[in-house]
Amino acid sequence: MKKKRGLFVILAGVVLLCVLIVCYFALLKANSSGEETTEEETTQEEVAAIASDDISTLTFEAGDQTVTFQKAEDSWTLEGQEDFPVDASKIDSVVSCLASVKADRTLTDVEDPGEYGLDVPTNVIEVVKTDGSSEKITVGDKNSSTGNTYICLNDDASTVYTTSTDFGSTFSGGLYNYAESESYPTITSSTISKIVVKKDNNSYTVTNNGKSSTGWYVQEEDNKKQEADSTQVGTLQSTVAGLSFAGYYNYNCTDWAAYGLEKPKMTLTVDYTEEVEAESTDDAESDSDANTDDTDDSGGTTTETVDRELVLYVGNINETDGNYYVRLGDSGELHGISQASLDTLMNGKAFDYWKTSIDSMTISDLDHLDVTYQGTTYTLKRVVTGEKVEKDKSEDTDNDADNDADNDADDDTDADSEDADDEEETKTVTTYYVNDQEADGDNFTAFYRAAAAMVCQSRLEENTTKDDAELTLSYHGTDGSKITISYTPRDSSFYVMEDQDGNCGLVNKMNVKDLIDTFLTLTEGEK
């Protein structure tokens, strides 16, 4: 009997324990559900809906100033500056985020709005509707975990909403973020024919005239032209073509001196071409067949190439954003271009664009080459002749069967009438000489190619080396022209390479030594 009663007690305890466990988890679930419904909404709630068509005025913080835009039909004006060039598309883009503002969470009975940054808001957006009513959105901090923004509506900071709408980035920047600016001309590298950089010091002009080996010349003010390095000019073209506005500061500037633009630090002038749609005329239509190359395949629109000129004035640096103040031609607008974009032009000089190679002469144009090494002169010459040689009959092929009839007819001709030259052909023979003695052709061409391939690592504005040249090459052309190139030791690393016009540059010492070794191989036994 005692055993039964003990067993009953144990079973009752187990049942009670199970009941308690079930009740615990039920209460836990209930509490959790209660928290979710009071602190965080499971679905988004639309807390503001302001249609663009309903807006009469829009006020917000733009940078360090409060601005108000007024809407009339589809256009916007800036209150107090009705001539300000408002970009309607930018304002419309801003307004679009107000059409539906949804809250992910709603916090009620907020005692301290400062916890959410609403005591010192990042922006205050006020809208006056066409019916006279108004809406205000105060923008606070961002939630560090979710990235959502805290806002309150109509000065009621006791209720705070979190929204995924990024008001901070939407209503960002200064007033001129909402201005319609003049466009910077679109220029491509391939359309540039001339670049003029005018400064107090180191002004230069780079011109494409198609007459030099590279197609480009570079010239300082009042100095002779130098052939330009095509790679360096290509970089310059890309720099110029890549310029664009990086700031907009004034739509109607009247005090250019305040920005260093009354006497610019630099004036950039660019000559380029642009393809434009040709004006349609009766004559053009009648001559349409003659202009097919300029006709668009899709619609028959013709284009023409027109000459353009860009003039850009560069002034002081804006201490706030680091851009150079700039003015485009005679425009009244004040813009900025980044220092990184303009420093190459501002700091550059003509010398930077000099061609790094010094012209020699192609071997086909050579009459002879005088090489002076350590005071001894050698004359190199290439002679091309033609001589008759017997044909290689093994290369002859049988006639095709289709020609048999013709061959039979030719059998009646006298075989002895055939010209003896039919048994011979002219062969081109090239002979190389050093001091009138025949030289090895491979060694000759190896030296000539090595000499033609010499390139300056950098150019020098003048040759300050006073020593006599160790190696001098004097090219004499078949047309009477002459090119002289000398190599003079400068230091432990470089030789000075100089031509007859005084153009000079630094050449790696080892490259010159290799050239001399190649020459000595050619002239071995000719000393």
The string of DSSP codes covering 65-112 is: EEEEEEEETTEEEETTBTTS-B-HHHHHHHHHTTS-EEESEEE-S-S-
The pLDDT, as a whole number, for residue 23 is 54
- 499 and 445, same structural domain? yes
The pLDDT, as a whole number, for residue 343 is 94
> Rounded distance, CA 329 to CA 312, Å?
6
Asked if 317 and 166 touch (Cβ cutoff 8 Å), the reply is no
**For residue 498, which phi and psi values (nearest 5 degrees)?**
-140, 140
396 within a domain of the structure (yes/no): no
**For residue 515, which phi and psi values (nearest 5 degrees)?**
-65, -45
Mean pLDDT of all residues belonging to the chain: 84
The pLDDT, as a whole number, for residue 355 is 83
Residue 10 scores a pLDDT above 70: no
How many domains does the structure of the chain reveal? Answer: 3
- 463 and 323, same structural domain? no
Count the neighbouring beta carbons within 10 Å of the beta carbon of residue 527: 9
The pLDDT, as a whole number, for residue 455 is 86
For 331-371, write each residue's pLDDT tens digit: 999 999 999 999 999 999 888 888 877 778 888 899 999 99
- 515 and 376, same structural domain? yes
> Rounded distance, CA 152 to CA 144, Å?
18
| In the chain, % of residues over pLDDT 70 | 79
Integer CA distances (angstroms), 419 to 387, 397, 422, 437, in order: 17, 20, 6, 37
311 within a domain of the structure (yes/no): yes
Asked if 49 and 101 touch (Cβ cutoff 8 Å), the reply is yes
338 within a domain of the structure (yes/no): yes
Per-residue confidence at 143, pLDDT binned at 50, 70, 90?
Answer: very high
The last residue of a domain, from among 119, 146, 178: 178
Structural domain including 316 reads: 189-278+303-353
- 211 and 75, same structural domain? no
Per-residue confidence at 292, pLDDT binned at 50, 70, 90?
Answer: very low
- 268 and 210, same structural domain? yes
- 197 and 172, same structural domain? no
Compute the C-alpha angle 240/244/245, nearest 5°. 140
Asked if 164 and 102 touch (Cβ cutoff 8 Å), the reply is yes
Instruction: Provide mean pLDDT across the span 260-266.
Output: 97
Asked if 285 and 228 touch (Cβ cutoff 8 Å), the reply is no
Which letter does DSSP use for residue 213 in this model? Answer: S
Q: Strand 105-107 vs strand 376-390: parallel, antiparallel, or unpaired?
A: unpaired
The pLDDT, as a whole number, for residue 172 is 87
- 435 and 327, same structural domain? no
- 348 and 432, same structural domain? no
- Tell me the Cα Rg of the chain: 42
The pLDDT, as a whole number, for residue 361 is 86
- 106-116 per-residue burial string, b: 16 or more CB within 10 A, e: under 16: ebeebeebeeb
436 within a domain of the structure (yes/no): yes
Per-residue confidence at 373, pLDDT binned at 50, 70, 90?
Answer: very high
**For residue 101, which phi and psi values (nearest 5 degrees)?**
-100, 115
Asked if 153 and 47 touch (Cβ cutoff 8 Å), the reply is yes
> Rounded distance, CA 249 to CA 260, Å?
14
401 within a domain of the structure (yes/no): no
- 489 and 368, same structural domain? yes
Residue, of 226 and 255, whose pLDDT is higher: 255
For residue 335, the domain's CATH number is 2.60.40
The last residue of a domain, from among 157, 178, 199: 178
For 400-420, write each residue's pLDDT tens digit: 444 443 444 344 444 444 555
- Give the three-state DSSP class for 448: helix
Asked if 338 and 323 touch (Cβ cutoff 8 Å), the reply is yes
For 34-78, write each residue's pLDDT tens digit: 333 334 444 789 999 999 999 999 999 998 899 999 998 889 999
> Rounded distance, CA 259 to CA 325, Å?
6
457 within a domain of the structure (yes/no): yes
Residue 324 scores a pLDDT above 70: yes
Nearest to 350 by CA among 222, 244, 239: 222
The pLDDT, as a whole number, for residue 73 is 84
Instruction: Provide mean pLDDT across the span 250-277.
Output: 95
Residue, of 507 and 390, whose pLDDT is higher: 507
Length of the chain equals 527
- 147 and 57, same structural domain? yes
The pLDDT, as a whole number, for residue 203 is 94
Half-sphere exposure of 343 (CA within 13 A, CB side): 6
The pLDDT, as a whole number, for residue 351 is 85
- 205 and 319, same structural domain? yes
Which letter does DSSP use for residue 350 in this model? Answer: G
Nearest to 308 by CA among 165, 188, 146: 188
The pLDDT, as a whole number, for residue 234 is 92
End-to-end CA, the chain: 136
**For residue 40, which phi and psi values (nearest 5 degrees)?**
-145, 125
H or E segment and range at residue 509: helix 509-523
Beta strands in 89-236 (DSSP E): 101-103, 105-107, 123-129, 134-142, 149-153, 156-163, 192-199, 204-208, 216-220, 226-227
Asked if 342 and 324 touch (Cβ cutoff 8 Å), the reply is yes
- 196 and 151, same structural domain? no
> Rounded distance, CA 379 to CA 435, Å?
5
> Rounded distance, CA 86 to CA 77, Å?
6
148 within a domain of the structure (yes/no): yes
Beta bridge partner(s), residue 370: 379, 474
Asked if 213 and 228 touch (Cβ cutoff 8 Å), the reply is no
The last residue of a domain, from among 109, 144, 178: 178
The pair of three-digit structure tokens given for residue 454, joined into one six-digit string: 């010499």
The pLDDT, as a whole number, for residue 415 is 46
> Rounded distance, CA 237 to CA 233, Å?
6
For 167-212, write each residue's pLDDT tens digit: 988 998 899 999 999 999 999 999 999 999 999 988 999 998 766 5
Lowest mean pLDDT among 14-23, 209-218, 477-486, 490-499: 14-23
DSSP string computed for 47-68? EE---GGGEEEEEEEETTEEEE
**How buried is 363 (Cβ within 10 angstroms: 0-12 exposed, 13-18 middle, 19+ buried)?**
middle
25 within a domain of the structure (yes/no): no
The pLDDT, as a whole number, for residue 104 is 93
